[in-house]
Structure 1
């Protein structure tokens, strides 16, 4: 028989097939449609400390070979996830990797503290494509020092596998992967969506309310492969490849 098991830090996956954050909800929505237990693991939709309603509509637009989304990390919040979703998910034979998003380093840490006390969490994926409100909206994942701080501070709080989801909207993604490794991350996942924009030629207005959004779908797969290759060539760290929809 072919051995499909993959080990990343303390995380043991029976196979390397994961669903990317944002593409599978929290995992329980597709019970009965997909045999969840056949997956190596579920990466949840991004969770924030408090519930978020997300961005105003319109927030999805079709593009050639892809989709532009500006969901704004709409989610139920970490406490509701722990109380309502985890009790269901832990009954399935698959790893539960919780994706975490925040606008402050302190919030990343508080979310992990709460999840550490919950049963059923296998690992964490830290989404650093979020704007840091203390730094004027600059994305954490485009700032080397902030990337280092997030990895370092979250690493102190858990022995579980720590995966950092990197943004492709940088010049050299391998430099950020090296920072993640040096600060104690077990793996990186790449890529998140590409910043994009679409215009309705009839109204002459952007197709999403926030003007720009995240481009995903088949159009970005070649970019994702190039970023994975770059990190593989330069940093000795496990890589989870994704051309995903983001949180």
Structure 2
């Protein structure tokens, strides 16, 4: 059976990718799982300068998921290139750099640094970040700002651009089209959902910030819908992200239009989650006589009314 997939020009041995923000810089998991058996690794978000992140505690569990407010803590793009990337080059798994900034120009500046380094297969643009010049509105909240970020990155990048969309929009299809038209090569759908977890005894949040991002099993049905809606609006590949913990989850995302998936929250509790899902996916495809997983993409049949 064939589990390989193509995300634009990028070939993956299987469709299961470790999601940004849940797998460190990748190398931290080398002693816990076989990095060479992953479809790809998306490293934690990289900014122009190092960031300390949000106050502790940064994580709390919820029924069916988790809320996090990490605050995009990272070592900055220059230290990533000098301290983290060299060790990743010894693995043949594609490495994707997640990138963010406070302006479209800052996204481009981060990518300029990364363009000088070997060992990266693609970039993932996190457009859920606030646009400082526009009063903190998320870049991914409207098509024009999303397109500006992608276009700025496209001008300086020779590598594929994946655009990670926010789910917190009125029309995901419009944002998806804007990203495609500006030069995006693929979409990651979607980021976390704004949420709260409160301790009624202390009257305070269970994390250091008042709010955070909800991820995990609870968000899968909502994100499936977003992938379905976006897949009908664009031609570029979509990578589904949200609540994936089983082989069945992977196939469901394929049916609504995804070409690959990212596993996020499951990695916190189980460092081998991605490899477990790959192994189970092989068994499930064999039992269902699915010889090529790519044949499932977008075959969802809507009922006629």
- TM-score for the superposition, normalised by structure 2: 0.78
Contact 2:68 2:213 in 1 (8 A): yes
Cα pair 2:131 2:139 within 8 Å, conserved: yes
Contact (CA 8 Å) 1:10, 1:160: kept in 2 or not? Answer: no
**RMSD of aligned Cα (Å):** 1.1
Q: Partner residue of 1:129?
A: 128
Query: Which secondary structure does the structure 2 equivalent of 1:170 belong to?
Result: coil
> What's the CA shift for 1:230?
1.0
Q: What corresponds to 2:93 in structure 1?
A: 94
Which region of structure 1 is more displaced relative to structure 2, 9-18 or 166-175?
A: 9-18
Residue in 1 that maps onto 2:274: none
In structure 2, distance between residues paired with 1:230 and 1:9: 20
1:72 aligned onto 2:74:
no
Alignment: residue pair count: 244
Quote the offset at 1:210 in angstroms: 2.1
**Structure 1 residue 184: deviation in Å?**
1.1
* CA deviation profile, 1:94-124 (whole Å, cap 9, x unmatched): 0000000111112111110000000101100
CA distance in 1, matches of 2:133, 2:58: 26
Aligned equivalents of 1:61, 1:91: Cα separation in 2: 34
2:55 is aligned with 1:56: yes
In the other structure, the counterpart of 2:234 is 235
Q: Judge conservation of contact 1:8–1:161 (CA < 8 Å) in 2.
A: no
Matching of residues 28-67 of structure 1 within 5 Å: 28-67=27-66
Moved more, 235-244 or 190-199: 235-244
| Residue deviations 1:139-184 (CA, integer Å, cap 9, x gap) | 1110221101011111111121110000000111111001111111
Residue aligning to 1:156: 155
Is there any run of 5+ residues in structure 1 with no aligned partner, and where? none
SS for the counterpart of 1:164 is strand
Name the structure with the higher helix share.
2
Deviations 1:64-89 (A, max 9, x none): 11111111000111111101111100
Equivalent residue of 1:37, what SS?
helix
Contact 1:52–1:73 (8 Å) recurs in 2: yes
Q: CA deviation at 1:32?
A: 2.0
Deviates more, 1:11-20 or 1:123-132: 11-20
Provide the residue aligned with 1:224 in structure 2: 223
Structure 1 residue matching 2:31: 3-state secondary structure: coil
Deviations, residues 216-247 of structure 1 (Å, cap 9, x unaligned): 111111111111111112222200001145xx
Moved over 3 A (4+): none
Task: Provide the rounded CA distance (Å) in 2 between the counterparts of 1:90 and 1:224.
Answer: 33
CA contact (8 A) 2:45 2:98 kept: yes
Unaligned runs of 5+ in 2: 243-263, 266-305
C-alpha separation between the residues in 2 aligned to 1:10 and 1:116?
A: 17
User: 1:8 aligns to what?
Assistant: 7
- 2:165 is the alignment partner of 1:166: yes
Q: Is the Cα contact below 8 Å between 1:131 and 1:137 reproduced in 2?
A: yes
In structure 2, the residue matched to 1:202 is: 201
